Structure 1
Amino acid sequence: MTGSTHTVTNQATPLVGYDVFATDRALTEAVARHLPAELREEAAAELSGLGRSCGSAQVQEWAAQAEGEPPVLRSHDRYGHRVDQVDFHPAWHRLLGKGVAAGLTAAWSRPGGHVRRAAAFLLWTQVEAGTTCPLSMTHAAVPALRADPALAAEWEPRLTSTVYDREARPAHLKAGVLFGMGMTEKQGGSDVRANTTAARPLAEAGTYELTGHKWFCSAPMSDGFLVLAQAPGGLTCFLVPRVLADGGRNVFLIQRLKDKLGNRSNASAEVEFAGTWARRVGEEGRGVRTIIGMVAATRLDCVLGSAGLMRQAVAQAAHHTAYREAFGRKLIDQPLMRNVLADLAVESEAATTLGLRLAAAQDAAEAGDERERALLRLAVPAAKYWVTKRCAPLAVEAAECLGGNGYVEESGMPRLVRESPLNSIWEGAGNVQALDVLRALTREPAALDAYLTEVGGARGADRRLDAAIRDLLTDLADLSHAEARARRLAERLTLVLQGALLVRYAPPEVADAFCAGRLGGDGGAAFGTLPATLDLASVVERARPVA
């Protein structure tokens, strides 16, 4: 029964029962742009199917259940035996199974795989970001394992499988596996060369016994882990299976699960190794070089994950304001709210466009294109730095568009806000990325050449972009005191690249707003400060999640 004073009016309908892919014009256009003609129809149908699933009431309910019931560590069984098991809500397993079935770990095994998988990852992040961690780790393990062809031949078919098998069994008995990662230790953090975990060689060639700890271990319920440890020849990469070939549990002691900011559904753990069996991956002493392929892949996922969070925040804000009235008008039609929404939409589209361009570069690099590989070397850490930095303020501003409703957990906006800083910290925080950009600039001239070729394709199309390119070249000509300026360089490199891509591919009103607000000095620090003379209504309409 409803009280006489509780008639519900002037509220938005739930954003549910829609195709998250088909209603995202920036994403659909990017997928079509970067895939060969013969793959576009199949990919669009596949992604639209995933998009409808992402927008369904059932999957959104699973996401809320997984978030509302965090994982629990069960260190011992009822008899006192150590089991080190992490128990998840059934909804978590349903979501993870859908992510695996959607090909989120299968990019390496099909044509156009990275573009298709990037689009799917961006969609899936909008449902429940917690499951993206094991999906990302599993996807990214492939390039690291390729340092050892025998290991790659054994594990890659399982890693790229679309079968989710949650049971703790020997990997050779499973059709599909998941991987986690353990790099950082409490005394070193990003300085992995300070790691103290020791690896003692065993009698069987390539096998070792590990003793030590990991301060952060991603996805501790996984079937295998890539970890760094000090072998006699120096810091080395190792594969640690969760279950040994004979069915016995490897020594993998979960000390506790982290109580962290961000999603609540995923598990991150502190783990101890005490006589833990491991296989060496790559050569002794070359652990960083071996695992860097995994790091590069997960850094790109940070860009894509942030783009997904941005897109969902903008979709929710645009949907709410299209229904909500204040002072006699729909919020979306009011000039100041329209300015805010347009500014948010431009930021979101720039992130999506850049993320898919980098995924296309990964496909090309896999096919042997060295220029595209060089572009990734500079553009990935720059994009990881800037796009992930923009995610948090965008999510907060989008939540504000809902007013008090955006501060209520049921709206889903607080979940986006909590998750929004994660990708900036994961896989190397801002300073780590900015310094990596600097290393690429000073040590790998082919990377800068590839970048300048890319942005040069848009020269002459917008005076503000041309001016920004000239200013960037001036900055790059003098790298004195470069370390102190590394963040500024990473920011400008990304903004110029985003501007070049939007000028070439986005509708004129989107490119115009980006160049005005990000390159031309006509925007402010806060969202919603674009020049009123721009076609902001068209920008907002493009961003609305409607069929």
Structure 2
Amino acid sequence: MTSDARHSLPTHDVLNQPPLRGDADLWGADPVLQNCIRFAGGRTQPLQAYGATLGRTQTRALAGEANRHTPELVLFDPGGRHLDEVRFHPAYHQMMQISQTAGYAALAWDGQPGGHATHAAMIYMASQVEPGHCCPLTMTYAAVPALAANEAIASVWTSRLTERGYDPSTLPIAAKKCATLGMAMTEKQGGSDVRANTTEATSDGDHWRLRGHKWFCSAPMSDGFLTLAQAPGGLTCFLVPRWLEGERNAIHLMRLKDKLGNRSNASAEIEYHDALAYQLGDEGAGVRTILEMVHHTRLDTAMAPAGLMRAALSEAHHWVSHRSAFQRRLIDQPLMRTVLADLVLDWEGTLSLGMRVAQAFDGQSPEDKAFARIAVALAKFLNNKRCPTVVVEAMEVLGGMGYVEDTPLPLLYREAPLNGIWEGSGNVICLDILRTLAREPLAAEVLAAELDAATGADRGYDAALKVHRDRWPGLPPEAEARWFAERTALLLTASQLLRHAPGAVSDGFIATRLTGNSGRIPGSVSGLDANALLARLG
């Protein structure tokens, strides 16, 4: 070949690459979510609009910008006066505006049926696009019941937290129509053991002054924070406003946390320097008061993994549908189909279980409330243990492309462990499950009834339930808490799939998750109806 001939060869033909995804409809293209909303009693209209907005190419571009341009800590103004602010890229504020206007934090409290189920579906969809901004919105949603412990505070704050709008301005609460709320509980020496907190609260007329160091403050530009401090009567819950009339509250930001995940949102280390605070609940009852917030944030941490899985699998499915290797499309190769079909079971099981929990949050009976308490912990534990595995396998489907930021897989990978840590890591959750079952007989009764409701439909499920109960006729020893929680949550997931999903899904889940007909690595299975399972991805 002559030199001229070599120089005429093209060097940048784009071959065997999937087309750009383009606009997507996160509601309309997800029949599994639609089915879950039907059985959970959620509301379709707000989800249709929100899913269409989130799926647009323009919205995904905003999400990318919010993650590329990370928050900036601004401690002082040019004259040396304290600012203690975090500056965000405009794209982050636009994402917040989209979700707040859609009702992310408000829908559950507007008095209409199915509010928590609809909210849970919004978490699921938002997590597919930009999970970082979910943090302040989740806390805003979850703070509402905790504020009820102080009627005067609730009368000022609740309407603003449930307003469908977003206002990031640095103004006191009375000057704002809408607001967000964060949380600052964790201290260096305590972690999950919040009773070891040392932040001190000193009475000052009709309010308190807090002094101490908080190791983690989530969303430090929120309009206020729920926090725990030691009052004379014991550990107490307080609301600390971010901005005061004519001045800044004495909340000083020490540094932003250099986190593994969600780069768009800020987490900070802060100090209270005699910061003004208002008491919520009885003095000494801080844990009981703030658990109202924790209970609701756990719903979100149980739902978000389903969204992360869905996003990862959608990306993998798009890739294999348009990519060829060894003269065949990847989607047509049996081993690839088996791997993806196996991962579908984890995603659909996670979504179905999370939506059943959300349905219980909407219920008003003692049985509903008891089921919500035990089931949200079981869902949070299992769903978050499955999420990183699903995301990693989806990343591997794309090969080297899955490891670069041109795809959403690195973002999803960084986010995958978060919800398993937030609001109680695995061991904390498992011990909480045991405590709930020991102290609340009704919780044990409604859990048993939920598992029994699916019997008679599948012999494998019935046999697995019997083995489970024979193994643990009562509560397990503490050392077996994880094993017990995993098996209970798997059975609870299977019970939902048996009643609400096609046979290919429930049969495959029971055969591979409950009866031992599989290996421990995704795709180490046989007998799955791959055609039916892959069709669930839309």
For the criterion TM > 0.5, the same-fold answer is yes
1:428 to 421, 424, 429: 424
Structure-2 separation of matches of 1:215 and 1:192: 12
> Which residue in 2 is equivalent to 1:89?
89
Q: Deviations over 1:389-430 (max 9, x none)?
A: 111111000111111111111111111111101111111111
Question: How far apart are the structure 1 equivalents of 2:464 and 2:280?
Answer: 44
Q: Does the CA-based 8 Å contact 2:338-2:528 persist in structure 1?
A: no
Give the match for residue 354 of structure 2: 355
Deviation at 1:454, TM superposition (A): 1.1
In 1, the alpha carbon distance for the partners of 2:262 and 2:344 equals 24
Query: Are 2:404 and 1:408 equivalent residues in the alignment?
Result: yes
Equivalence for 1:288: 287
Using the alignment, how far apart are the partners of 1:232 and 1:422 within structure 2? Answer: 35
Give the alignment partner of residue 456 of structure 1, picking from 441, 452, 471.
452
Higher mean displacement: 43-52 or 166-175: 43-52
Paired with 1:99 and 1:141, the residues of 2 have a C-alpha distance of 17
Q: 1:15, 1:48 → 2: CA distance?
A: 19
Q: Which residue in the other structure is 1:317 paired with?
A: 316
Task: Provide the rounded CA distance (Å) in 2 between the counterparts of 1:195 and 1:354.
Answer: 34
Segment of structure 1 superposing worse, 47-56 or 508-517? 47-56
Structure 2 match to 1:390: 386
Map of 2:509 onto structure 1: 514
1:122 to 121, 124, 144: 124
Give the Cα separation in 2 of the matches to 1:398 and 1:312: 9
Q: Does residue 499 in structure 1 map to residue 494 in structure 2?
A: yes
Secondary structure of the residue aligned to 1:13 is coil
Q: Report the Cα distance in structure 2 between the residues aligned to 1:479 and 1:248, rounded to whole angstroms.
A: 54
**Inter-partner Cα distance in structure 2 for 1:446 and 1:469:** 20
Q: Give the distance between the partners of 1:139 and 1:44, measured in 2 at CA.
A: 19
Q: Which residue type is aligned with residue 164 of structure 2?
A: T
Q: Distance in 2 between matches of 1:472 and 1:178?
A: 43
Structure 1 contact 513–530 (Cα < 8 Å) conserved: no
Deviation string for 1:172-202 (max 9, x for gaps)? 1111100010111001000000000000011
In 2, Cα distance between equivalents of 1:3 and 1:371: 72
Is residue 2:224 matched to residue 1:224?
yes
Looking at structure 2, the residues matched to 303 and 141 of structure 1 have their Cα atoms a distance apart, in angstroms, of: 17
Contact 1:125 1:308 in 2 (8 A): yes
CA contact (8 A) 1:516 1:530 kept: no
Structure 2: distance between partners of 1:476 and 1:294: 32
Q: Distance in 1 between matches of 2:51 and 2:525?
A: 31
For residue 372 of structure 1, the aligned residue among 356, 365, 368 is 368
Match of 1:29 in 2: 35
Structure 1 residue 159, shift from structure 2 partner: 0.7
Match of 1:243 in 2: 243
Using the alignment, how far apart are the partners of 1:210 and 1:3 within structure 2?
71
Give the AA of the match of 1:539. L
- 1:526-541 mapped onto 2 (5 Å cutoff): 526-531=521-526, 533-541=527-535
TM-superposed deviation, 1:477: 1.4
Unpaired runs of 5+ residues, structure 1, are: none
Secondary structure of residue in 2 paired with 1:297: helix
* Aligned with 2:482 (options 482, 487, 503): 487
1:193 to 181, 195, 202: 195
What residue is the counterpart of 1:156 in the other structure? 158
What is the match of residue 80 of structure 2? 80
Percent same amino acid among aligned pairs?
A: 48
Q: Considering only aligned residues, what root-mean-square deviation do their CA atoms show, in Å?
A: 1.2
Structure 1 residue matching 2:237: 3-state secondary structure: strand
Distance 1:221 1:45 in 2: 31
Secondary structure in 1 aligned to 2:23? Answer: coil
1:330 aligns with 2:334: no
Which of 153, 156, 166 is the equivalent residue of 2:168?
166
Distance in 2 separating the partners of 1:271 and 1:174 = 24
Runs of 5+ in structure 2 lacking a partner? 1-7
Equivalent residue, structure 2, for 1:181: 183
Report if the CA contact (8 A) 2:141-2:161 is conserved: yes
8 Å CA contact 1:210–1:276 kept in 2: the answer is: yes
Partner of 1:419: 415
* Partner Cα distance (1:12, 1:372) in 2: 46
Which is further off, 134-143 or 149-158?
A: 149-158
Q: Name the aligned partner's letter for residue 340 of structure 1.
A: V
Amino acid at match of 1:137: M
Give, in angstroms, the shift of residue 247 of structure 1. Answer: 3.0
Q: Which residue matches 1:109?
A: 110
Distance 2:246 2:145 in 1: 27
Give the aligned partner of residue 272 of structure 2: 273
- State the TM-score, normalized to the length of structure 2: 0.97
Residues 234-243 or 9-18, more deviating: 9-18
Structure 1 residue 374: Cα displacement: 0.6
Question: 2:274 corresponds to which letter in structure 1?
Answer: G
Partner of 1:252: 251
State the secondary structure of the residue aligned to 1:269.
strand
- Secondary structure of 2:183's counterpart equals strand
Q: Residues 479-524 of structure 1, C-alpha deviation per residue, up to 9 Å, x if partnerless? A: 35x2111111111111000000001110110111101110111121
Which secondary structure does the structure 1 equivalent of 2:190 belong to?
Answer: coil
Indicate the SS of the match to 2:99: helix
Q: Is the 2:76–2:82 Cα contact (8 Å) retained in structure 1?
A: yes
Q: Output the CA distance in 1 between the equivalents of 2:117 and 2:199.
A: 37
- Partners of 1:251 and 1:542 lie apart in 2 by 52
* Cα distance, 1:149 vs structure 2: 2.4
Q: Distance in 1 between matches of 2:149 and 2:464?
A: 40
The reply to whether residue 145 of structure 1 matches residue 144 of structure 2 is no
Q: Distance in 2 between matches of 1:252 and 1:89?
A: 23
Q: Give, in angstroms, the shift of residue 3 of structure 1.
A: 7.4
d(CA) in 2 for partners of 1:503 and 1:526?
24
- In structure 1, how many angstroms separate the alpha carbons of the residues matched to 2:19 and 2:176? 43
1:386 is aligned with what amino acid?
Answer: L
Separation in 2, partners of 1:441, 1:16: 48
**Alpha-carbon separation, structure 2, partners of 1:268 and 1:457:** 43
Q: What displacement does 1:110 show?
A: 3.3
Q: CA deviation at 1:476?
A: 3.1
1:475 CA displacement: 3.3
**Correspondence for 2:59:** 59
TM superposition shift of 1:77: 0.4
Task: Give CA deviations for 1:70-113 in whole Å, capped at 9, x if unaligned.
Answer: 10100000110010010000000000111111111011123211
Q: Alpha-carbon deviation of 1:340? A: 0.6
The answer to whether the 8 Å contact 2:124/2:304 transfers is yes
Question: Which one-letter code corresponds to 1:142 in the other structure?
Answer: V
C-alpha separation in 2, matches of 1:523 and 1:161: 49
